[in-house]
Amino acid sequence: MTAIGIYGSAGRMGRAITDQIEQAGATFAGGCEAGDDPSLIARAADVLVDFSAPAALEAHLVAARDAGTPIVVGTTGLGATQHAMIDAAAADIAVLQTGNTSLGVSLLGILVREAAARLGTDWDVEITEMHHRHKVDAPSGTAIQLGEAVARGRGTTLAEIRVDGRAGLVGARTEGTLGFGSLRGGSVIGDHSVIFASEGERLELSHRADDRSLFAKGAVRAALWLANRAPGRYRMDDVLGL
């Protein structure tokens, strides 16, 4: 049986993942919280999952790499530095990084890329997301991933087109840009909409998560898939065969 270790095990996702491990036919290799030695579970586990915090990721990747243990990175709020760390670790171990472990969001990414490729830049694109009041990063990892899908469809990069947090006298919209809107409140698990707006019509592609166990099941599925993979950087699309 595959033994799964969890970084951020006491958090909302960590607890939800722990609940899913047994019924997926795997075992729990142990958890790790801030202040614990990350190398202990890296050596005990066949595969690791990280749902902790961006500032913690480097130590977790170092521990995974030293132990030769594959790792699923579900933590969001990552910047260029963390992505470079993931790329470096992926030279030696299998690393799967995703802002969303659900099947629906992976498929949504494909539909969004296709829509962006087929609709001209006279169709404005905006992405909205809503999450629970405890979420600390914005835009969500999923929203950024969907923004990257728009950019790929348009043959550009997200950095080239993104507009964050409009406020005040910002002027009229610049053609070809992509705006993000983030809402926070209550216990919302995770809602995302990609809105294509043209003169006189709008196309909205949306995903709503009803239960956090959805992400936990996806994380365990990704971990089991990753456990014996060759070194490299993988995506949820690889797991799902999309």
Ligand X SMILES: NC(=O)C1=CN([C@@H]2O[C@H](COP(=O)(O)OP(=O)(O)OC[C@H]3O[C@@H](n4cnc5c(N)ncnc54)[C@H](OP(=O)(O)O)[C@@H]3O)[C@@H](O)[C@H]2O)C=CC1
Ligand Y SMILES: O=C(O)C1=N[C@H](C(=O)O)C[C@H](O)C1
Catalytic residues: 131, 135
Return the residue nearest ligand X (CB atom).
11
Residue 190 interacting with ligand Y (CB under 6 A):
yes
Q: In the numeric block, which tokens belong to residue 119?
A: 């609709």
DSSP class of 174: P
In angstroms, the CA 162 to CA 164 distance is 6
Contact mark string toward ligand X, 61..100, x via CB under 6 A:
-------------xxxx--------------------xxx
How far out from the chain centre does Cα 52 lie?
A: 12
Here's the x/- map for ligand X, 16-55, by CB under 6 A: it reads as ----------------xxx----------------xxx--
141 part of the interface to ligand Y, by CB under 6 A: yes
* 2, 69, 101, 193: residue in contact with ligand X (rule CB under 6 A): 101
Alpha-carbon distances, residue 133 vs 53, 136, 142 (angstroms): 17, 8, 17
Residue 193 interacts, among ligand Y, ligand X, none and using kind-specific CB cut-offs from 5 to 8 Å, with none
| 217 lines the binding site for ligand Y (CB under 6 A) | no
Closest CB to ligand Y among residues 69, 142:
142
On the CB side of 233, CA atoms within 13 Å amount to 13
SS3 content of the chain, % helix, strand, coil (to 5): 40, 25, 35
